[in-house]
């Protein structure tokens, strides 16, 4: 009944359409908007199971930060912090893309500490952080703040403050981390500022949100991460299983496990993680070693991107369903580490996935640091940029890596170490791809593949991919680009659907 209103919800937050979606408790709209109830002062997700409020008592907001800026508090039942994030890229509006890039950079918990000393209501919008982000994006901070407020309805500081508070709320509810560690992990300069922010915005003492749990076992912590259905869990696990590098990752019994190194400023944290998919609740259950606990907000961000939990299936469906009617839930796997993904892309040039996995296994065994985990055979970290930059040609050659790829790996590692290339969401995609193509041994296919998975650019299109051309029934990159023009700005999702269709056809 309400399907006809989908574009209105996506484009204009049309209130009647939102109310129909709310009454249906449709999980496809989870995180696309929030429902604020004037009679209670609470805002909820559209999937909240409480009795539907009367229409005249409801206001709709596109972002949680807008609801909080209007004076509403998050629901303790549906927990807005668990909702998928709303960031539709189905636009050719340059200013909106700029605002979304800024939001992606601000979503990184490492950035939250830049405003830790200016987290009062009187602080200027974003402090020095927005200046740094504006410089990265090549615009003035004044212009970026104006565009941000136009598209998000709140100032950068209000947006970031909501992100920090909701992250803290999740850590309090789902873990037994000490409050001081929750405050620091969420970007607050002190427990006092943390408590003050909660009292001012939520009218609560943080400890009142802590759920009764048994004491932590010192081994792991678990949190839940929501997605919008449909989500093809089997396709995601199949993709990860086919490419899993022995020694550092594996997929067994529907669970994905791997080791991980997280860089946080001057600090490096290492550990392991496991992800289990709860299809009935449309949630991924993330379990991580306690060594990663202090970096949990960063880890959550990385896992959400790696599993594409924030995809907008309605917008993607509108562009791709006609061509791929049986692939609505196929997502684009990202990565937990941009440098790692780029290295794997280089290793996979012009060889099969199985051969690339073999090279990855040798590389991890030779240059990856050992680590203890609960799973036998998952016991190494991926090599650091410094380790690969220092690797000699003879050492790499003994692994079966050709001289051309050796040159590419050395150049890539040195560029990342020097800070000349950043490989994470929010960077300027065109400029980063151009910089990648200047490196020896890296062409357009590799740059586009990195843009697709590491930079999270939904319109990335590695047209030179032979399997992609075969699936499209063409024999050149130019013809592939022309064939995929109708799927803009979601060509990246068409790539995964084409690959998925090819894999299904060869397995039957």
Known catalytic residues are 44, 465
Q: Give CA separation, 47 vs 39, 80, 165, 347, 503, in Å.
A: 19, 10, 21, 43, 34
8 A C-beta contact, residue 156 and residue 125: yes
Which candidate, 458, 232, 248, places its Cα nearest to that of 360? 248
CA–CA distance, 461 with 439 (Å, rounded to integer): 19
Strands (E), 215-254: 220-226, 249-252
Name the residue with tokens 């929750």. 182
Phi-psi region of 485 (alpha: psi -120 to 50; beta: other; left: phi over 0): alpha
**Exposed / middle / buried, residue 18 (Cβ in 10 Å: 0-12, 13-18, 19+):** buried
Measured between its terminal Cα atoms, the distance across the chain in Å is 37
Spell out the residues 6+ positions from residue 508 whose beta carbon is closer than 8 angstroms to its own: none
Name the residue with tokens 């003492």. 205
Q: How many CB atoms lie within 10 A of CB 242?
A: 12
Spell out the residues 6+ positions from residue 160 whose beta carbon is closer than 8 angstroms to its own: 106, 111, 112, 115, 126, 129
């Amino acid at each position: 009944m309400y399907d006809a209103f989908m574009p209105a919800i996506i484009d204009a937050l049309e209130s009647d359409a939102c109310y129909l979606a709310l009454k249906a408790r449709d999980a496809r709209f989870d995180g696309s908007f929030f429902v604020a109830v004037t009679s209670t002062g609470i805002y909820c997700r559209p999937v909240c199971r409480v009795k539907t409020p009367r229409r005249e008592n409801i206001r709709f907001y596109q972002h949680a930060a807008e609801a909080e800026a209007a004076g509403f508090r998050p629901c303790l039942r549906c927990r807005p912090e668990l909702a998928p994030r709303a960031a539709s890229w189905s636009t050719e509006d340059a200013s909106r893309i700029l605002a979304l890039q800024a939001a992606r950079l601000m979503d990184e918990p490492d950035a939250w500490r830049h405003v830790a000393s200016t987290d009062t209501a009187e602080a200027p919008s974003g402090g020095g952080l927005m200046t740094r982000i504006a410089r990265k994006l090549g615009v003035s901070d004044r212009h970026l703040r104006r565009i941000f407020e136009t598209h998000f309805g709140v100032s950068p500081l209000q947006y970031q403050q909501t992100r920090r508070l909701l992250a803290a709320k999740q850590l309090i509810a789902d873990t037994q981390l000490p409050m001081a560690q929750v405050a620091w992990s969420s970007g607050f300069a002190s427990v006092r500022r943390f408590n003050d922010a909660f009292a001012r915005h939520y009218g609560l003492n943080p400890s009142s949100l802590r759920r009764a749990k048994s004491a932590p076992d010192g081994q792991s912590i678990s949190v839940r991460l929501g997605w919008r259905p449909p989500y093809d869990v089997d396709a995601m696990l199949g993709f990860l299983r086919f490419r899993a590098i022995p020694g550092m990752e594996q997929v067994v019994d529907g669970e994905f496990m791997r080791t991980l190194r997280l860089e946080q400023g001057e600090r490096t944290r290492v550990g392991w993680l496991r992800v289990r998919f709860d299809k009935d609740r449309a949630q991924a259950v993330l379990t991580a070693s306690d060594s990663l606990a202090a970096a949990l907000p960063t880890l959550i961000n990385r896992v959400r991107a790696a599993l594409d939990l924030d995809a907008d299936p309605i917008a993607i469906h509108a562009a791709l369903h006609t061509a791929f009617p049986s692939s609505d839930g196929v997502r684009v796997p990202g990565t937990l580490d941009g440098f790692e993904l780029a290295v794997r892309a280089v290793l996979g040039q012009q060889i099969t996935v199985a051969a690339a996995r073999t090279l990855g296994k040798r590389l991890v065994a030779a240059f990856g640091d050992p680590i203890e985990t609960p799973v036998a055979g998952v016991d190494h970290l991926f090599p650091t940029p410094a380790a690969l930059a220092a690797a000699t040609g003879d050492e790499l050659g003994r692994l079966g890596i050709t001289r051309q790829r050796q040159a590419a790996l050395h150049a890539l590692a040195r560029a990342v170490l020097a800070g000349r290339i950043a490989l994470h969401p929010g960077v300027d995609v065109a400029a980063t791809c151009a910089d990648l193509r200047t490196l020896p041994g890296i062409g357009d296919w590799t740059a586009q593949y990195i843009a697709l998975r590491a930079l999270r650019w939904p319109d990335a299109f590695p047209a030179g991919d032979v399997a992609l051309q075969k699936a499209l029934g063409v024999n050149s990159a130019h013809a592939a680009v022309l064939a995929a023009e109708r799927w803009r700005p979601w060509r990246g999702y068409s790539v995964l659907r084409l690959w998925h269709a090819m894999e299904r056809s060869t397995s039957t």
